[in-house]
C-alpha cells in the first residue's frame, strides 16, 4: 500500500507530463494547465498523508524497487526513502509547485505552447521528487540531472530567441561541471563503501575504519556538484542568465526548489561532511563570499528579475554558510522560508511584468502601488521577510544563520551581516523603483496597466501569508524543525537558548536591515533617484553593474581557449593528420612515377640491368663464401 | 538449433534481396533482417535455457582451421545489437528511393552477415575472414551511394579501405604467428598459449593497430569524419552503429585475453590515448560546420571512453564498455538518422544553413532532443549506465583519468546542445520543414524506447553478459 | 683427346668458354643492330656448347655431347623465330635498330 | 608421360585440322581433347613413375601442376575462338602453338633430367615469342615479341651456361644423381654458380626484379590473349619449375641463397606494386601486379620442404583470378585502341556481371577473404613465419596494402564513372569462361583443403 502510494506520489506528475506531451495539442490550454496542476496537487496530498503518518509514528519508509546498475561488487538499486528530510522537501516542492502551477495557468495563457510548458513543469516536479525521494546517491543523480534538463528546457522555453537558448545551454553546462564533481564524489564513495545507499554509508562511517583523506576529496567533489546546482562561486553565473525563462519557472526552479538541491544533498550527507571539517570550512567560506558578491552585484541591477536572481544566489550563499558551520537545520529552515518569500517575490515580479507586457527594466516602472495593490502588498511582505524584519519568516531563519556565524567565526558573521544589509537595500530599491513615485514607462503601457487576475494573485497571497508566519516552524524556544530533523542528522545540533547575546545579535541584525532600508529610502524614494542609462554608468558602479566582468573573464579564460583549440584542431591538426596519411600514398605514387622513368623501353638498358643483377648475385656469392 | 542459422538467414537474405529486384528489395531486406532478429531472439532464449548454441566444425585440416562459432552472453548481445539495428537501419530508409536498390540492400544484409560472423567467430582465421568481409560492402556502399563530390569521396573512401585493411593485415600476421605457436586458431587454444612478454607486446601491438584504426582511437581516426560525412546515412549508421563495435568487441574478446601482460604493462598509455580521444573528439566537435562531421567526432569521443573502459582491465570497465557499446550503437544510429531526416528535407548538412526547425516540427524536435540527451548520457538513459560504469572503473585506476575522461560529460553537453540549438532552435526557418513521417517516427521511437527502457532497467543485459565477461576477465587475470 | 685435356687442363677450357660467353654478353650489351645482337647470343650459346664438349670429355661421358645437339637445335629454332620477328619489324619500321623499339615503356 | 604424348598428339591434330578444313570443330575438339587429357593426367595422380631413363618423372607434384596447366589452357583456348575471329585462317596455328606450349609446360614440371627441362623451357619460350609477336602488322606486338625474344634467348643462354656448369661439376644431367652428389663434399665451385645461373634464368621467366623489365612492355604490346597466357600459365609454369629445380637439385637451400631469395622476393613485390600504382594501361598494371605476385611466390622457396602445397594453391588462385580478369579485359578492350583504365568506366552499370567478376578477381589478387587469393597469401605467410622469416611477411603485408591502391583504381573506375558508350553484345564464351574461373576461385577459397593438402604426404 505504502509502496503504491509512494509510487503514485512519484509518478503522478510524470503522468501529467505524458498526458500534456501527447494530448496537449488536442485539448484546450486551460485543461492542460488544470491537469498539470492537479497531478502536482495530488502528489502534494499524498505527501501530506505520509507526513502526518511520519509525525505520528516517527517511522521511515524505505523500499528498493528494482536492481538498477550492478558494477562488480557495487550493486545499486532503484530505491526510495521517505524520511523526515525527504518529506519536508517534498512538502514544499509539491506545495509551492502546486501554487506555481496555478499561477502559470493564467500567466502562460497567451503562449501557444502552454501544454508543453505544463508538460515540462510536471516533468520537473517528477525529477525533483526523484531527487529528493531516492535512497541512494545515484537515484538522486537521476533527479539531479533530470531537473537540470528541465531547467534547460524551461529556460529556453521561448526557443526562437537565441539569447535565451544560450542562457539555457549555459545553465546546463555549468551544472554539468558541477555534476562531474558530483559523479567523482560518488565514485570515491562507491570505492570506499561499495554502496551508495545513504543509511548504509552512514552505518559504515559510524563503524569507523574510514579513509578520511578519500572522504575529504569525496566531500569536496560533492560540494563542487552542489555549487553547480545551487549557483555558488564559481559556478553561479548561470542563474542570473536563467531568468530568460518564463517567470513561474524562475520562481519554481531557480528560487524555491531546484537550486536548493545542493543544500538537500549536503544535508542528506551530513554524516559525511561532519567528518571533514576542512571541507566544511571551504563550504562556509564559499558560501559567505557568494553571499556578499552576489548581493553587491544585486545592488545596481536594473532588471527586476536579475535583482531577484542575485538575491537568490546571495541567500543560497547564506545557506551554504550555515551548512559549512554544521548548522544543517538552520540551513534547511532558511531554505523553507526562502522558498516562501522568494517564490512570492518572483511571482510578484511576474505579475508586474505581466501587467507591463514583458517590461523587466525597473527604470521603466514606478508607481505601480496603486494599480496593483495585491501584488504590491504581497511583495512588500516578502521583501520585509527577506530583509529580515521582525516578525516575518526571513527574520527568524536569517537570524539563526547570523547567530551560528557569530558563534563560529566573527569574520563570517560580519560578512554575512554585510550581505544582509545589502539585501535589505537592494530589495527596497526594487520596491521603491517599481511601486513608488511616478510611472516611467510609455503611454501605451500606462493605458494597459492592471492588476493581475485572481489565479495570479491567489498564489501570491498564499505565499505572502507563508512568508509572514513561516518562521513558526522553528521559533526559538520550540525549535520544532530542529527536533523534527534530529533523526536524519548524525551530530545533534544543540538549540541555543535565548540569552543576552542572542537578543543583542537579533537587534544588530534588525538594525542592519533597517539601515539598508533607510539607505534605499533615502536614495530612491526621497531623492527620486532613477538609475542611469547603461552607457552613462561609470567607475566602480560600472564594474558592479557588469557583474565584475566575471562572465567575460570566464569567456576569456575557458570558452575562448577551447574554441581556439577547436578551430586549430579543425583547421590545422586534422588536415595535417589526414595529409600525413595521404602522404604515404603520395610517396608510394611518387616512387612509382620515378620508377616509370627507369622503365624507358630501351632493350639495352633492360639487358644491362639483367647483367648487373647477375653480377651482383655472383659477386655476393663469392663474398659470402 | 545453433547460431549458424543466423548467418545463413542473413546470407540467404542478401542473395534473395539481390534477386528480388529493385522494387521489392527494401521490403525483402527488411523481412530477412526481421527473420534474423527473430532467430537471434530464439537463440537467445535457448541459450538462456542452458542449451549450447555454439558450433564447432572442422573446416580446413591443414592449417587447422575450424568453423567455430561461439555463442556466449557477450557475443549474443553483440549479435542482437546487429540484428536489431539492421532491420531498424533498413526500415529507416523506407519512404526514400534508393538507386539500384537491390544491390544496395543486398550489400547491407551482407555486411550485417559479416558483422554477425565477426561477433560469433571463435576461430582466429574465421574471425579474420568475417572481419575483412565486412569491409567490402561498406566500401561499395560508401563509394557508390555516398554523397558529395565524387573525386573527394573516392579518395576518402579508398583511404578508409586501405587504412583499415592495413591495420587488420597486421592482425593477420599476428594470427599467423599465434598459429605457429598453438597449431590451432581456436579461441580457447589461443587463450592457453604461454607467450613471452616480448611476444605478447608485438601481438598486442598488431591487434591494437587493427582495432585502433577500426574503432578509431586517436591518432588513427583521420579516415573517420570524412567517411561518415560522405557515406550515405545508412552506411554511416552501419559503420558507426555496429562496425566500430567490432573493434571494441575484439579488444575484449581477442586482444586482452591473448596478450594480457602487454595490456597491463601499457595500461596507462592505452587508457591515456583513449581518453585523449575523448577530449580531442569533443573539442573538435565543438566547431564543426557539418552536421555529420560533428556527429562523427562525437562518436570519436564516445568510443574513446568505451576503449578506455576496456583497457582499464577491470571487470567494471569491461562491463561498462559493453553497456556503452550497445547504448552508443543505438544513440548514434538515432543521431545520424535525425541528420538524415533533416537532409531529406533541406538537402544539406551544413549547420549554418539550418535552424528554426522546432516551430515547424515539434514532434521531430522532441524525438531528436531525447536522442541528443541520451547521447549526452543523462541518467535514466542507457548511455548513462555505460558511462557511469566506465567512469567508475577509470576512477579506480587513477583519479586523473576520471577527471579527464569525465570532461566528456561537460564537453559532450556543450557540443551536443550547441548543435541542437543551431540546428533546431531559433527563428522559424524560411524553408518549410515537413513533420516526420510515420516511418521516421517509428524508427526514432524504437530507438528511444530501447534507450530509456535499458536506462532504467539494464539488468537483463547485465545478467546476460555477466558470466561470459567474468570468464574472459579471469582469463585476462590468470597468470601467464 | 684425353691427352690434350690433360695437358691443357679443364680450367683453361672453362676460362675460354667464359671469355667467349662474356664476349657474347658484351656484344649483346653494346651493339644496337638486332642481327648483331642475335649473333652475339649465338656466340654465348656456342661458348656453352664448347664447354659442354670439354666437360663431356673431362667426364668421359657422351651425354654432354648429346646435349650440344639439343642446344644447337634449339638455337636454330630460336634464330628462326627471331629472324621472323625481325623481318616483320623491318617491314613495319624500316629499321632493325633495337633503339627504335621504345614504344612500350613507363 | 601419357600426358605429354597426348598433348603433343593433340597439337599435331590441330595443325592437321587446318589442312582438312575443320576449323569450326577445332576449338571444341581441342577443349574436349584437353578435358580428356586432364582426366588421364589426374588418373596418374597416385601412380608415381619415371620414363626414358628418368627423363620424365611423374609424381603428385607434376600431376597437380600439369592438371592446373591443362585447365588454364582450356580457358585460354576457349577464349581464343572469339579473339581470333578475324583471323580464321590462322586459328589452328594459334591453337596448336598454345597446345605445344602446354606440352613444354608439362615437360618443365615433370622433368627428371636437365635436358628435358631445357627442351621444355625452350618449347615454351619459343611458342611465347611467336604468340607475343603474332599481330605482325602492329608495331607494338612486334616490339613486344622482339624484346621478349632478345631477353628470353639471352636468359636461355644463361640457363644453358648454368646447366653446363652443373654438368661440369657433377658429370650428370639426371637430377637424382645431381641431388646425391650435391650433398657430398668437395663439389667444385662451379656447381653453386651453375645453380645460381639456372635460378637467375628462371627468375627472368617469372619476372622477378631486377630481371623483370621485359614483363610490362611485353604484356602491354602482346595481343591480350597472349598477355593472359603469359601472366597466368607462363608465370605459373616458371614458378613451379623453379621450385622443382631447387627442391630437386639440393636438399636444402644454403643460407646465402636464402638471403638472395629474401632480397629478391621483397624487391620484386615492392617494385611490382609501386610501379603498378601509376599505370594507366590495365595490361601493364596487371603485368606489374604479376611481378609483385612473383615476389610473393618466391617466399615459398623459403620454406622449401613444406610449401609445395601452398605454392600450388597460390598459383591456382592467382591464375584463376588472372583468367577471369583477362576474360573481362579482353571483352572490354576488344574494339578499343588501347587498354587504358578509361575503357572500364561505368562497366558497373553497362555490364554489371562482368564488372562484378573483374572486381572479384581483383579482390582475390589483393587477398581479400573468401576469395582464394586471401587464403593463398595467408598460407604463404604462415609457412614463411614458421621458417622464421617474419620480416619478409611484414614486407609482404605492407605490399598487400600498397596493392589495394591500384586494384581499387580499376574498381572505382568501374563503379563511379559513367560509361562513354553503350555496351555491345557479349559473346557467351566470355561469360562462361569468366564465371567458371571465378567460381572455381571462390570455391577453392572456401574449401582450400581440396588443393592445399594435395601435395602433403
Positive or negative CA dihedral for B237, B241, B246, B251? positive
Distance of alpha carbon B275 from alpha carbon D88, whole angstroms: 71
Q: What local confidence, expressed as pLDDT, does residue A495 receive? A: 58
C-alpha radius of gyration, chain B, whole number? 21
Task: Tell me if there are at least 3 CB pairs under 8 Å linking chains C and D.
Answer: yes
Phi–psi pair at B398, nearest 5 degrees: -165, 135
A577 in Cβ contact with B222 (< 8 Å): yes
Q: Per residue in A415-454, pLDDT tens? A: 888 888 888 888 888 888 888 877 777 777 777 777 778 8
Residue of A nearest to C41 (CA): A607
- Given CB atoms, is B148 within the 8 Å cutoff of chain A? no
Considering only the beta carbons, identify the residue of D137, D139, D171 that sits closest to C59.
D171
Distance of alpha carbon D110 from alpha carbon A69, whole angstroms: 71
Q: Per residue in B412-469, pLDDT tens? A: 889 999 899 888 888 887 788 888 888 889 889 999 999 999 988 888 888 888 888 8
**pTM of this prediction?**
0.90
Q: What local confidence, expressed as pLDDT, does residue D360 receive? A: 93
What ranges do the domains of chain D cover?
1-251, 253-457
Distance of alpha carbon D157 from alpha carbon D151, whole angstroms: 10
Is pLDDT above 70 for C105?
yes
Cell of B50: 542452458
What is the DSSP-derived secondary structure letter of residue A69? E
Q: What local confidence, expressed as pLDDT, does residue D121 receive? A: 93
- DSSP string over D293-307: HHHHHHGGGGGTTT-
What ranges do the domains of chain B cover?
266-480
- Given CB atoms, is B62 within the 8 Å cutoff of chain D? yes
Q: How confident is the model at residue D423 (pLDDT cuts 50, 70, 90)?
A: low
Task: Tell me if there are at least 3 CB pairs under 8 Å linking chains B and C.
Answer: no
- Residues written for chain A: 625
CB contact under 8 A, D168 and C51: yes
Q: What local confidence, expressed as pLDDT, does residue D327 receive? A: 92
- Residues written for chain C: 106
Distance of alpha carbon B134 from alpha carbon A99, whole angstroms: 59
D150 Cα to chain C: minimum distance (Å): 7
Residues 397..416 of B with a Cβ closer than 8 Å to A: which?
Answer: 399, 402-403, 406-407, 409-410, 413-414
- Given CB atoms, is A72 within the 8 Å cutoff of chain C? no
Q: Residues near B29 by Cβ (< 8 Å), separated by ≥ 6?
A: B13, B17, B90, B105, B106, B108, B109
Burial label for D306, CB within 10 Å (0-12, 13-18, 19+), is middle
A134 has which bridge partners? A80
Q: Residue for cell digits 638498358?
A: A605
C76 Cα to chain D: minimum distance (Å): 11
What is the DSSP-derived secondary structure letter of residue A300? T
Q: Please report how the helices D235-249 and D114-132 are oriented relative to each other, as an axis angle in degrees rounded to 10.
A: 170
Distance of alpha carbon A487 from alpha carbon A84, whole angstroms: 8
Q: Long-range contact list for A196-203, CB < 8 A, 24+ apart?
A: A196/A74, A196/A76, A196/A136, A196/A137, A196/A138, A197/A77, A197/A79, A197/A135, A197/A136, A198/A81, A198/A135, A198/A136, A198/A137, A198/A268, A198/A269, A199/A62, A199/A81, A199/A135, A201/A269, A201/A271, A201/A272, A202/A271, A202/A490
Q: Per residue in A139-185, pLDDT tens? A: 888 889 888 888 888 888 888 888 888 888 888 988 898 889 998 99
Is pLDDT above 70 for C2?
no
B108 in Cβ contact with B48 (< 8 Å): no
Q: What local confidence, expressed as pLDDT, does residue A496 receive? A: 62
Considering only the beta carbons, identify the residue of D126, D279, D284 that sits closest to C78.
D126
With contacts defined as CB-CB under 8 Å, which chain A residues touch B413?
A: 172-173, 176
In this prediction, residues B281-296 reach a mean pLDDT of 90
Q: For chain C, list the domains and their CATH numbers.
A: 2-100 (1.10.287.3510)
The answer to whether the peptide bond before residue B219 is cis (omega within 30 degrees of 0) is yes
Is pLDDT above 80 for D1?
no
Distance of alpha carbon B183 from alpha carbon B171, whole angstroms: 17
3-class state of residue D109 by DSSP:
helix
Distance of alpha carbon B383 from alpha carbon A588, whole angstroms: 43
Q: What local confidence, expressed as pLDDT, does residue D457 receive? A: 54
Distance of alpha carbon A54 from alpha carbon D398, whole angstroms: 75
Could you give the residue ranges of the DSSP H alpha helices within A194-276? 198-206, 212-229, 238-241, 247-251, 261-268, 270-274
Q: Per residue in C49-87, pLDDT tens? A: 999 999 998 888 888 899 999 899 999 999 999 999 999
Strands A61-71 and D56-58: unpaired
Q: Per residue in B166-202, pLDDT tens? A: 889 999 999 989 988 888 888 888 888 888 889 899 9
The answer to whether the peptide bond before residue D308 is cis (omega within 30 degrees of 0) is no
What is the DSSP-derived secondary structure letter of residue D453? T
A624 Cα to chain C: minimum distance (Å): 22
Residue D449: name the closest of B56, B60, B123, B65 by CA.
B60
Considering only the beta carbons, identify the residue of B143, B161, B173 that sits closest to D416.
B143
Q: Per residue in D85-94, pLDDT tens? A: 887 878 888 8
CB contact under 8 A, B283 and A67: no
Cell of D65: 601442376
CA distances (Å), origin A242, targets A168, A238, A246, A345, D221 = 6, 6, 9, 16, 78
Distance of alpha carbon B425 from alpha carbon A158, whole angstroms: 9
Helix (H) or strand (E) holding A79: strand A74-82
Distance of alpha carbon B423 from alpha carbon B289, whole angstroms: 11
Q: Residue for cell digits 527620486?
A: A528
**Mutation target among A606, A609, A611 for the C interface, most CBs of C within 10 A:** A611
Query: How large a percentage of chain B has pLDDT more than 70?
Result: 100
Residues 298..327 of B with a Cβ closer than 8 Å to A: which?
Answer: 314-316, 319-320
**Mutation target among C41, C83, C104, C105 for the D interface, most CBs of D within 10 A:** C104
Cell of A82: 521517505
Q: Residue for cell digits 585476462?
A: B476
Residue B234: name the closest of B124, B127, B145, B136 by CA.
B145
Residue of A nearest to C22 (CA): A611
Cell of D29: 575438339
HEC sequence for chain B: CCCHHHHHHHHHHHHHHHHCHHHHHHHHHHHHHHHHHHHHHHHHHHHHCCCCCCEEEEEECCCCEEEEECCCHHHHHHHHHHHHHHHHHHHHCCCCCCCCHHHHHHHHHHHHHHHHHHHHECEHHHHHHHHHHCHHHHHHHHHHHCCCCHHHHHHHHHHHHHHHHHHHHHHHHHHHHHHHHHCCCEHHHHHHCCCCHHHHHHHHHHHHHHHHHHCCCCCCCCCHHHHHHHCCHHHHHHHHHHHHHHHHHHHHHHHHHHCHHHHHHCHHHHHHHHHHHHHHHHHHHHCCCEHHHHHHHHHHHHHHHHHHHHHCCCHHHHHHHHHHHHHHHHHHHHHHHHHHHHHHHHCCCEHHHCCCCCCCCHHHHHHHHHHHHHHHCCECEHHHHHHHHHHHHHHHHCHHHHHHHHHHHHHHHHHHHHHHHHHHCCCCCCCCCCCCCHHHHHHHHHHHHHHHHHHHCCHHHHHHHHHHHHHHHHHHHCCC
Strands A74-82 and D49-51: unpaired
Amino acid at each position: 500500500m505504502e509502496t503504491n502510494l509512494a509510487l503514485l506520489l512519484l509518478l503522478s506528475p510524470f503522468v501529467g507530463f505524458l498526458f500534456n506531451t501527447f494530448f496537449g495539442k488536442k485539448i484546450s490550454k486551460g485543461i492542460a494547465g488544470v491537469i498539470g496542476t492537479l497531478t502536482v496537487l495530488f502528489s502534494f496530498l499524498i505527501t501530506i498523508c505520509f507526513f502526518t503518518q511520519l509525525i505520528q509514528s516517527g517511522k521511515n519508509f524505505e523500499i528498493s524497487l528494482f536492481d538498477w546498475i550492478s558494477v562488480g561488487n557495487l550493486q545499486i538499486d532503484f530505491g526510495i526513502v521517505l524520511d523526515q528530510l525527504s518529506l519536508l522537501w517534498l512538502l514544499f516542492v509539491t506545495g509551492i509547485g502546486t501554487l506555481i502551477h496555478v499561477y502559470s495557468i493564467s500567466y502562460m495563457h497567451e503562449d501557444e505552447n502552454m501544454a508543453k510548458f505544463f508538460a515540462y513543469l510536471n516533468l520537473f516536479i517528477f525529477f525533483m521528487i526523484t531527487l529528493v525521494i531516492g535512497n541512494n546517491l545515484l537515484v538522486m543523480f537521476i533527479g539531479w540531472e533530470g531537473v537540470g534538463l528541465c531547467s534547460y528546457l524551461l529556460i529556453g522555453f521561448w526557443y526562437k530567441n537565441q539569447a535565451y537558448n544560450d542562457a539555457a545551454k549555459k545553465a546546463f553546462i555549468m551544472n554539468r561541471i558541477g555534476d562531474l564533481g558530483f559523479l567523482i564524489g560518488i565514485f570515491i564513495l562507491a570505492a570506499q563503501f561499495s554502496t551508495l545507499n545513504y543509511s548504509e554509508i552512514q552505518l559504515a562511517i559510524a563503524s569507523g575504519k574510514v579513509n578520511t583523506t578519500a572522504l575529504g576529496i569525496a566531500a569536496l567533489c560533492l560540494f563542487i556538484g552542489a555549487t553547480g546546482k545551487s549557483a555558488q562561486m564559481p559556478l553561479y553565473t548561470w542563474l542570473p542568465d536563467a531568468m530568460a525563462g518564463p517567470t513561474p519557472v524562475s520562481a519554481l526552479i531557480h528560487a524555491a526548489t531546484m537550486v536548493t538541491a545542493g543544500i538537500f544533498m549536503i544535508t542528506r550527507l551530513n554524516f559525511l561532511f561532519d567528518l571533514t571539517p576542512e571541507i566544511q570550512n571551504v563550504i562556509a567560506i564559499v558560501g559567505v563570499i557568494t553571499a556578499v558578491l552576489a548581493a553587491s552585484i544585486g545592488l545596481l541591477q536594473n532588471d527586476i528579475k536579475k535583482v531577484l536572481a542575485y538575491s537568490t544566489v546571495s541567500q543560497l550563499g547564506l545557506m551554504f554558510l550555515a551548512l559549512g558551520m554544521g548548522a544543517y537545520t538552520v540551513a534547511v529552515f532558511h531554505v523553507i522560508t526562502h522558498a516562501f518569500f522568494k517564490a512570492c517575490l518572483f511571482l510578484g515580479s511576474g505579475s508586474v511584468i505581466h501587467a507591463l507586457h514583458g517590461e523587466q527594466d525597473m527604470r521603466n516602472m514606478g508607481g505601480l502601488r496603486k494599480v496593483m495593490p495585491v501584488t504590491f502588498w504581497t511583495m512588500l511582505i516578502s521583501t520585509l521577510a527577506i530583509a529580515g524584519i521582525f516578525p516575518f519568516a526571513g527574520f527568524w531563519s536569517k537570524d539563526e544563520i547570523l547567530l551560528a556565524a557569530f558563534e563560529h567565526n566573527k569574520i563570517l558573521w560580519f560578512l554575512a551581516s554585510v550581505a544582509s544589509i545589502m539585501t535589505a537595500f537592494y530589495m527596497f530599491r526594487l520596491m521603491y523603483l517599481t511601486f513608488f513615485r511616478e510611472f516611467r514607462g510609455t503611454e501605451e503601457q500606462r493605458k494597459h496597466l492592471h492588476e493581475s487576475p485572481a489565479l495570479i494573485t491567489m498564489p501570491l497571497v498564499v505565499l505572502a501569508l507563508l512568508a509572514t508566519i513561516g518562521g513558526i516552524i522553528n521559533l526559538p524556544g520550540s525549535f520544532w524543525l530542529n527536533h523534527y530533523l534530529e533523526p536524519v542528522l548524525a551530530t545533534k545540533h544543540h538549540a541555543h537558548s535565548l540569552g543576552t547575546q542572542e537578543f543583542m545579535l537579533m537587534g544588530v541584525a534588525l538594525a542592519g536591515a533597517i539601515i539598508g532600508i533607510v539607505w534605499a529610502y533615502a536614495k530612491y524614494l526621497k531623492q527620486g533617484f532613477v538609475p542611469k542609462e547603461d552607457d552613462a554608468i561609470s567607475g566602480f558602479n560600472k564594474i558592479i553593474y557588469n557583474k565584475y566582468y566575471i562572465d567575460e573573464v570566464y569567456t576569456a579564460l575557458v570558452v575562448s581557449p577551447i574554441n581556439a583549440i577547436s578551430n586549430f584542431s579543425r583547421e590545422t591538426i586534422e588536415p595535417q593528420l589526414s595529409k600525413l596519411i595521404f602522404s604515404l600514398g603520395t610517396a608510394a605514387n611518387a616512387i612509382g612515377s620515378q620508377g616509370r622513368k627507369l622503365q624507358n623501353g630501351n632493350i639495352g638498358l633492360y639487358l644491362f640491368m639483367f647483367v648487373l643483377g647477375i653480377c651482383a648475385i655472383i659477386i655476393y656469392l663469392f663474398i659470402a663464401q | 538449433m545453433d547460431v549458424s542459422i543466423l548467418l545463413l538467414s542473413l546470407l540467404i537474405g542478401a542473395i534473395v534481396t539481390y534477386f528480388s529486384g529493385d522494387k521489392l528489395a527494401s521490403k525483402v531486406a527488411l523481412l530477412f533482417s526481421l527473420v534474423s532478429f527473430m532467430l537471434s531472439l530464439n537463440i537467445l532464449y535457448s541459450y538462456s535455457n542452458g542449451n549450447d548454441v555454439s558450433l564447432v566444425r572442422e573446416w580446413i585440416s591443414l592449417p587447422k582451421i575450424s568453423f567455430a562459432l561461439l555463442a556466449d552472453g557477450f557475443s549474443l548481445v553483440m549479435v542482437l545489437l546487429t540484428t536489431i539495428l539492421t532491420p531498424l537501419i533498413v526500415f529507416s530508409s523506407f519512404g526514400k528511393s534508393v538507386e539500384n536498390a537491390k544491390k544496395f540492400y543486398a550489400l547491407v544484409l551482407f555486411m550485417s552477415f559479416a558483422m554477425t560472423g565477426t561477433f560469433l567467430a571463435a576461430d582466429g582465421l574465421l574471425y579474420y575472414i568475417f572481419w575483412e568481409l565486412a569491409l567490402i560492402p561498406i566500401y561499395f556502399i560508401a563509394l557508390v551511394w555516398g554523397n558529395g563530390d565524387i573525386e573527394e569521396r573516392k579518395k576518402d573512401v579508398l583511404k578508409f579501405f586501405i587504412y583499415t585493411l592495413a591495420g587488420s593485415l597486421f592482425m593477420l600476421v599476428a594470427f599467423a604467428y599465434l598459429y605457429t605457436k598453438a597449431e590451432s586458431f581456436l579461441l580457447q587454444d589461443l587463450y592457453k598459449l604461454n607467450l613471452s612478454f616480448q611476444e605478447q607486446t608485438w601481438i598486442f601491438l598488431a591487434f591494437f593497430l587493427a582495432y585502433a584504426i577500426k574503432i578509431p582511437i586517436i591518432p588513427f581516426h583521420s579516415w573517420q569524419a570524412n567517411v561518415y560525412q560522405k557515406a550515405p546515412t545508412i552506411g554511416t549508421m552501419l559503420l558507426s552503429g555496429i562496425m566500430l563495435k567490432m573493434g571494441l568487441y575484439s579488444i575484449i574478446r581477442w586482444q586482452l585475453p591473448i596478450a594480457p601482460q602487454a595490456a597491463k604493462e601499457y595500461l596507462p598509455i592505452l587508457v591515456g590515448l583513449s581518453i585523449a580521444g575523448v577530449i580531442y573528439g569533443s573539442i573538435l566537435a565543438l566547431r564543426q560546420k557539418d552536421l555529420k562531421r560533428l556527429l562523427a567526432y562525437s562518436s570519436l569521443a564516445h568510443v574513446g571512453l568505451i576503449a578506455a573502459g576496456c583497457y582499464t582491465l577491470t571487470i567494471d570497465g569491461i562491463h561498462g564498455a559493453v553497456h556503452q557499446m550497445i547504448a552508443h550503437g543505438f544513440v548514434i544510429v538515432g543521431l545520424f538518422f535525425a541528420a538524415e531526416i533533416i537532409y531529406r528535407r533541406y538537402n544539406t548538412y551544413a549547420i549554418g544553413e539550418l535552424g528554426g526547425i522546432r516551430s515547424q516540427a515539434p514532434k521531430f524536435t522532441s524525438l531528436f532532443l531525447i536522442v541528443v540527451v541520451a547521447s549526452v548520457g543523462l541518467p535514466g538513459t542507457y548511455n548513462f549506465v555505460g558511462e557511469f560504469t566506465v567512469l567508475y572503473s577509470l576512477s579506480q585506476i587513477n583519479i586523473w583519468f576520471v577527471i579527464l575522461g569525465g570532461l566528456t560529460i561537460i564537453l559532450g553537453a556543450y557540443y551536443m546542445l550547441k548543435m541542437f540549438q543551431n540546428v533546431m532552435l531559433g527563428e522559424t526557418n524560411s524553408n518549410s520543414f515537413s513533420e516526420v513521417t510515420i516511418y521516421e517516427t517509428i524508427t526514432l521511437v524504437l530507438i528511444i524506447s530501447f534507450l530509456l527502457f535499458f536506462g532504467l532497467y539494464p539488468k537483463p543485459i547485465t545478467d546476460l553478459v555477466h558470466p561470459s565477461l567474468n570468464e574472459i576477465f579471469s582469463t585476462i587475470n590468470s597468470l601467464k | 683427346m684425353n691427352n690434350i685435356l690433360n695437358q691443357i687442363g679443364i680450367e683453361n677450357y672453362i676460362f675460354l668458354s667464359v671469355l667467349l660467353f662474356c664476349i657474347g654478353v658484351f656484344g649483346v650489351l653494346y651493339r644496337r643492330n638486332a642481327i648483331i645482337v642475335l649473333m652475339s647470343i649465338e656466340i654465348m650459346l656456342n661458348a656453352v656448347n664448347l664447354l659442354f664438349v670439354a666437360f663431356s670429355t673431362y667426364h668421359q661421358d657422351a651425354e654432354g655431347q648429346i646435349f650440344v645437339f639439343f642446344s644447337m637445335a634449339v638455337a636454330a629454332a630460336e634464330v628462326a623465330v627471331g629472324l621472323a620477328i625481325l623481318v616483320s619489324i623491318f617491314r613495319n619500321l624500316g629499321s632493325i635498330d633495337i633503339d627504335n623499339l621504345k614504344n612500350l615503356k613507363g | 608421360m601419357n600426358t605429354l604424348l597426348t598433348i603433343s598428339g593433340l597439337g599435331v591434330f590441330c595443325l592437321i585440322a587446318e589442312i582438312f578444313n575443320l576449323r569450326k570443330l577445332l576449338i571444341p575438339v581441342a577443349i574436349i581433347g584437353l578435358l580428356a587429357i586432364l582426366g588421364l593426367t589426374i588418373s596418374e595422380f597416385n601412380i608415381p613413375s619415371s620414363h626414358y631413363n628418368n627423363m620424365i618423372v611423374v609424381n603428385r607434384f607434376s600431376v597437380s601442376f600439369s592438371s592446373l596447366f591443362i585447365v588454364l589452357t582450356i580457358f585460354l583456348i576457349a577464349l581464343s575462338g572469339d579473339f581470333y575471329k578475324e583471323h580464321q585462317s590462322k586459328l589452328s596455328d594459334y591453337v596448336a602453338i598454345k597446345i605445344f606450349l602446354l606440352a613444354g609446360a608439362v615437360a618443365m614440371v615433370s622433368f627428371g633430367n636437365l635436358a628435358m627441362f631445357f627442351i621444355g623451357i625452350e618449347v615454351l619460350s619459343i611458342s611465347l615469342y611467336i604468340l607475343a609477336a603474332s599481330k605482325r602488322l602492329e608495331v607494338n606486338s612486334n616490339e613486344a615479341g622482339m624484346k621478349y625474344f632478345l631477353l628470353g634467348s639471352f636468359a636461355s643462354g644463361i640457363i644453358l651456361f648454368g646447366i653446363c656448369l652443373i654438368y661440369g661439376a657433377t658429370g650428370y644431367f639426371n637430377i637424382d644423381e645431381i641431388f646425391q652428389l650435391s650433398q657430398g663434399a668437395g663439389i667444385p665451385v662451379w656447381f653453386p654458380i651453375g645453380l645460381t645461373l639456372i635460378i637467375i634464368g628462371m627468375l627472368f621467366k617469372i619476372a622477378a626484379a631486377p630481371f623483370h623489365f621485359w614483363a610490362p612492355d611485353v604484356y602491354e604490346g602482346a595481343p591480350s590473349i597472349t598477355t593472359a597466357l603469359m601472366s597466368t600459365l607462363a608465370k605459373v609454369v616458371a614458378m613451379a619449375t623453379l621450385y622443382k629445380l631447387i627442391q630437386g637439385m639440393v636438399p636444402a637451400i644454403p643460407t646465402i641463397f636464402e638471403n638472395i631469395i629474401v632480397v629478391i622476393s621483397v624487391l620484386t613485390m615492392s617494385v611490382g606494386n609501386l610501379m603498378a600504382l601509376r599505370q594507366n594501361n590495365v595490361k601493364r598494371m596487371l603485368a606489374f601486379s604479376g611481378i609483385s605476385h612473383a615476389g610473393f611466390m618466391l617466399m615459398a622457396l623459403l620454406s622449401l620442404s613444406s610449401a609445395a602445397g601452398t605454392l600450388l594453391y597460390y598459383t591456382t588462385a592467382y591464375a584463376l583470378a588472372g583468367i577471369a580478369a583477362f576474360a573481362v579485359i579482353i571483352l572490354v578492350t576488344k574494339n578499343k585502341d588501347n587498354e587504358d583504365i578509361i575503357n572500364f568506366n561505368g562497366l558497373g552499370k553497362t555490364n554489371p556481371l562482368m564488372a562484378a567478376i573483374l572486381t572479384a578477381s581483383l579482390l582475390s589478387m589483393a587477398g581479400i577473404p573468401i576469395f582464394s587469393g586471401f587464403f593463398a597469401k595467408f598460407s604463404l605467410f604462415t609457412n614463411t613465419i614458421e621458417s622464421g622469416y617474419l620480416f619478409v611477411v611484414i614486407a609482404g603485408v605492407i605490399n598487400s596494402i600498397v596493392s589495394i591502391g591500384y586494384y581499387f583504381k580499376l574498381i572505382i573506375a568501374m563503379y563511379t564513372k559513367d560509361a562513354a558508350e553503350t555496351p555491345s553484345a557479349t559473346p557467351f564464351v566470355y561469360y562462361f569462361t569468366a564465371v567458371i574461373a571465378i567460381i572455381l576461385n571462390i570455391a577453392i577459397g572456401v574449401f582450400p583443403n581440396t588443393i592445399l593438402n594435395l601435395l602433403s604426404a
